[in-house]
Structures are given as C-alpha cells and as structure tokens.
A = this chain, B = another copy of it.
Amino acid sequence: MRTAPAPPLPDGAGDPLPRRQVLADGVYEAVKALIMDHVIAPGARVSIDGLARRLGVSPTPVREALARLESAELVVKEPLRGYRTTPLLSLEQLDDLYRFRLLLEPWAAAQAAARADAAGAAALRAELDSCQVPAAESYADYKALAAHDTRFHVLVAELSGSRQVRTAFERTHCHLHIFRLYYDRRIGRKAVSEHRAIADAVLRGDPDAAREAMRAHLEASYYERLRPLFGEAAAPPPAG
C-alpha cells in the first residue's frame, strides 16, 4: 500500500483549504490555480480521489468543481475514465482566439464609447489607476498585472451594454489560456499604455477611435508578444 502523498508541490499550493462558505467554490479556485501554475501539467490526468486527498476534502465537492471547470475548458471529461487537463493553446487555436477577439472587442469598445456614462467612466478610471504603478518583476506583480488585464477587457465588454458579448468574451477565458501559455514580464508597460489609449477614446466618447485603439492593442498583443512564442515562421493575420 502506498500512503505516500501526491507528488510534492511548490510552496503552499494544494494545501488544505481555508474555510469558505461552500467547499466546491474553494476547490474550483484551488484546482484552477494548480492548472494555471502548471502544477498539474497540460494533458495530464486529474484524479478526483487524488485531488480530494490532496485538498483534504471529500470527492463530492471535487466533482462539482470539475464539472464547472469543464465548461471553462480547463479540463475535459471522459466518462468512466476521469478528467484530464486540456493541452496548451496551439498556434491555430491562438489564431482563432484572436480572430474571435477582433470580431467582438473592437465592436465592444466602440459601443462603450457611444454609451459612455458617469458610472462607466468612473469604473474605467478606477481600473486604470489600480495599475498606475508600473509592475515590478516579481511573481506577485505578474499575477496582479494579469488580473488587471483581465478586468480591463471584461470591463470594456461590460460597458458595451451587451450582456451576450460580455459573457461570450468571459467564457473564452482567454486571459486564463494566454497567461497559462506564457508570460513575459516586460510586456506590462506597453500593454498598460495601450489600455490607456483605449480608455481615453472611450471616455472622450469617440467610437471610431476606441474601435481602432482596441484593434491596435489586440494586434500588438498577438504579433509582438504571443506569435513569436511559436517560432519564426511567417505569421498570417488572424483576421479572416
């Protein structure tokens, strides 16, 4: 018999959970973190009982959390065989993702500019101010910047006034997959300045400028930061 614990984990990841109202929620976040930080490798199997032991809970809430993670496409279920983490984004999937973002987000930015109101403007300024400090190079700052990037894009989608667009965008979990793919700590400053350009256009109520700023931001993100990860082959434009 092996009472041996699961493979050793870095720092505190996977330790027994702090008390939450519902365990399944905590398990969801814990497993998401394990996958995002590559503690559980892409394509690896995810044992229900194993996770339950590792997190110190019973399999029941783990099942519920995994069912939700499946809809985020971080894991896939094979009946009677268990769950498995999805592989990292391929180049084709990355192209497809940015083609999709180019379809939705410039439209959302233009709508946000056309609909700008006081509350929205305040929220946008608050989000930008939260990242006033150019992120240092620590891991914590990295995660903070990633969180800001996520919140900013969701906020713009929100300000478009279309719940469908916002939820469709959120359900891509694109930041999750992108930051899972890779992170270059030097990208922060440029991304933040591009965000500022988008926000300026929205706050000034200029739909065309907002649309264009968002398009430029997405293309810069793709060509300058992500596409190079896949080598030097010629990069076709994701826009179809």
B-contacting residues of A (Cβ < 8 Å)?
21-22, 25, 60, 63-64, 67-68, 70-71, 79-80, 93, 96-97, 99-100, 103-104, 107, 111, 161-165, 168, 171-172, 240
- Select from chain B the residue with minimum beta-carbon distance to A93: B163
A selection of 22 A-B contacts at a CB cut-off of 8 Å is A21-B79, A22-B80, A60-B60, A60-B63, A64-B64, A67-B67, A67-B68, A68-B70, A71-B71, A93-B163, A96-B162, A97-B164, A99-B162, A100-B162, A100-B165, A100-B168, A103-B103, A103-B104, A103-B107, A161-B240, A162-B240, A168-B171
Q: Other CB < 8 Å A-B pairs besides A93-B163, A100-B162, A162-B240, 16 of them?
A: A21-B80, A22-B79, A25-B79, A63-B64, A68-B70, A96-B162, A97-B164, A99-B164, A100-B164, A100-B165, A100-B168, A103-B103, A164-B172, A168-B171, A168-B172, A171-B171
CA distance A176 to B118 in the complex (A): 36
Residues of B within 8 A of A162 (CB): 96, 99-100, 240
Residues of B within 8 A of A164 (CB): 96-97, 99-100, 172
- Select from chain B the residue with minimum beta-carbon distance to A165: B100
CA distance A162 to B95 in the complex (A): 9
How many copies of this chain sit in the oligomeric assembly?
2
CA distance A171 to B165 in the complex (A): 12
Residues of B within 8 A of A22 (CB): 79-80
How distant is A172 from chain B, measured CB to nearest CB, in Å?
Answer: 6
- Select from chain B the residue with minimum beta-carbon distance to A171: B171
Residues of B within 8 A of A21 (CB): 79-80
Residues of B within 8 A of A171 (CB): 168, 171
Residues of B within 8 A of A71 (CB): 68, 71
- Select from chain B the residue with minimum beta-carbon distance to A97: B164
Contact A163 B96 (CB under 8 A): yes
- Select from chain B the residue with minimum beta-carbon distance to A174: B164
Residues of B within 8 A of A96 (CB): 162-164
